[in-house]
Amino acid sequence: MKKIFTFAILGGLLLVLLSSISEIPPLGEEKNPSYNEISEYYVTESVQDTGAKNIIAAIITDYRAFDTLGETTVLFTGIAAVSAMIGISHHKGKKEDQEHHG
Amino acid sequence: MDDLFVKLTTRMILPFIQLYGVYVILHGHLSPGGGFSGGAIYAASIVLYTLAFGLEKGKERMPHEISSKIETGGILVYVLVGLSGIFLGYTFLTNIEAGFPIGTFGKVLSAGLIPVVTFAIGLKVMSTIVTLFHTMLEEES
């Protein structure tokens, strides 16, 4: 019963995702929804708004700076996860080394 | 790895890689690049040093205490710069509107807090990659 339920849910999800593929606009078309006034605004106004020559840097660290803060936090989370998985404690190891040598 | 050629080449090429990394970070708002790529280039130089000279010397060059301090300091600078916007009466991470100097267009000292933020990101990415590499090597040995 549980398996049939899981398959039904997954099959429904597959149908929804596959049917949405046919609605995706073609790549590089001029009338795509991604080419709206926001990109035009960035191209024309970013120099006056931020004074940065590199528009990408202006978008990443000015218009969407909070998003970049989250991105750098992802790095911190990654390193915390790796240290937790590998399980090396730098402080404890140091003390033990000193005890052994001493 | 105990190879004379590798060590000699590493010693010769190291300052140029580090200079290029610092250049990419500092010119993040002028030329292609930025904090992430510049920090990765700088970290690559330390990874190369560790590969050529061994983990012991690599840890002497970039001890864990210092790299963890740099990592925390980078994100701290970012958050403090963002909070300064709130204290000046605007939203989090407001740049030019909050009164940061816009400078001359096309010069290194321009664009308000973008170079500061890019530098903080560069420090963070560099120390993260180095710490990850050293931690994984430590586990192996």
Best interface-test mutation with A: which of B24, B29, B75 has the largest number of A CBs within 10 A? B29
A76 or B104: which carries more pLDDT confidence?
A: A76
User: Per-residue confidence at A14, pLDDT binned at 50, 70, 90?
Assistant: very high
pLDDT in the model for residue A102: 41
Residue B83 clears pLDDT 80, i.e. is over it: yes
pLDDT in the model for residue A83: 80
Question: Mean pLDDT across the stretch B118-129?
Answer: 88
Residues 6+ apart with CB under 8 A from A55: A42, A43, A46
Q: What is the ipTM of this complex?
A: 0.72
Chain-chain contact of A72 with B92 (C-beta, under 8 angstroms): no
State the average pLDDT for chain B.
83
B80 touches A: beta carbon within 8 Å: no
pTM of the model: 0.75
B74 touches A: beta carbon within 8 Å: yes
Report pLDDT digits (tens) over A32-78. 777 778 888 888 888 877 777 888 888 888 888 888 888 888 888 88
pLDDT in the model for residue B80: 87
B105 or B13: which carries more pLDDT confidence?
A: B13
A85 or B122: which carries more pLDDT confidence?
A: B122
B118 touches A: beta carbon within 8 Å: yes
Cβ pairs A/B, distance under 8 A:
106
Q: Can you read off the two tokens belonging to residue B57?
A: 């010397």
pLDDT in the model for residue A4: 92
Chain-chain contact of B106 with A53 (C-beta, under 8 angstroms): yes
Angle at A70 between CA B107 and CA A37, to 5 degrees: 65
Best interface-test mutation with A: which of B114, B119, B123 has the largest number of A CBs within 10 A? B114
pLDDT in the model for residue A91: 55
Residues B71, B16: Cα–Cα separation, whole Å: 23
Residue in B65, B127, B139, B137 with CA at minimum distance from that of residue A86:
B139
Residues B121, B81: Cα–Cα separation, whole Å: 12
A90 touches B: beta carbon within 8 Å: yes
pLDDT in the model for residue B1: 61
Report pLDDT digits (tens) over B88-101. 878 787 777 767 77
